[in-house]
Amino acid sequence: METVFGVEYSKPEVILMQDTGIGVAEAAARTCYDSFENSENEAIRSIEYAMPDRDTCGKINTIEESNLLNDLAWTHFHHSILEHANLSFLVRGTSRGVLQEHARHRIQAISVRSTRYTMSSVINAFVASQATNDKNFFIDKVLGFDMFVTCDEAYNRIEIGAIYDKLKYQASTVENFNDIAVAKSSLPLLEEFDGNSEMLFNALEEGKKKRNVGDAFKHVVTDNFKVDMVVTFNLRSLKNYFTLRDSGAAYFQIRWLAQEMMRKTPSKYLDLIIKKG
């Protein structure tokens, strides 16, 4: 956790799920120069004489160093060959504000936890709170969901209270609010557990989830919401990402993420994209 501008934030967690190695990038570069025989890696040299078999491809994908790639990256700045190496990261606990920043990086594959499909518990908590008209029930329940990158309980109670107020307003203006909030099969539960918010919440959680429930309630989502994502960069794009986002000028939350991704990136990649010294 870290305090920024008077507010305490949690930092994201990152794991490197997959990396394709630098061997294919060297093979690509040597294809350009027809120089397989000059490689210090035996698997690459063998391409000069025959198409690589499965075993050779496996050896290529385990290459840890390449003099040619280092020379092209730092002497000739021929970075297009780095696009043949890819890394995939699982990120947990960053914010939707960071997600907006990520969208500015054009060349990436990104899959993000969807508010469209994953807001059921929040909406169930609100519907249950209406059984006793208890705003504090909603705040206490949602507080336990660990939904925000901010860590200060007093601040988060304000955030959750604002979500409640927006939902309360929507409920007062939409005639069929419960129909859009819970699955049809769960509607009888509202009458069965009227007057008992805790039992109603538990029953709604155990029941069928309303399909696409987030469609009607995305207006409650703020930049403070935590998101999880899997993001894949080719090495050239990752170089650009680290250059821009590990900068003091970058938004502090995406800087934290870039720094954690960098810590989880093996040195064989960093040596080609991060200048030493």
Predicted local distance difference test score (pLDDT) of residue 214: 85
162's tokens: 């604002």
- Residue 236 pLDDT > 90: yes
Tokens of 250: 């970058």
What's the pTM value of the predicted model, to 2 decimals? 0.91
pLDDT value of position 162: 97
Residue type, 249: A
In three-state secondary structure terms, 12 is coil
264 has pLDDT over 70: yes
Element (H, E) at 109: strand 109-112
SS (H, E, C) 215-227: HHCHHHCCCCEEE
Tell me the mean pLDDT in the region 214-239.
Answer: 94
The rounded mean pLDDT for the chain is 94
Supply the pLDDT for residue 277.
63
Do 87 and 272 form a contact (C-beta atoms < 8 A)?
A: no
Q: Sketch out the chain's domains with CATH numbers.
A: 1-18+87-115+225-277 (3.30.70.3180), 21-84 (no CATH), 120-220 (no CATH)
Instruction: List Cα–Cα distances, 231 to 108, 209, 237, in angstroms.
Output: 7, 28, 12
Q: What is the CA radius of gyration of the chain?
A: 25
pLDDT digits (tens, 9 = 90+) for 146-177: 999 999 999 999 999 999 999 999 999 998 99
The per-residue pLDDT for 106 is: 80
Please write the tens of the pLDDT for every residue from 99-138. Answer: 988 888 888 999 998 888 889 999 999 999 999 999 999 9
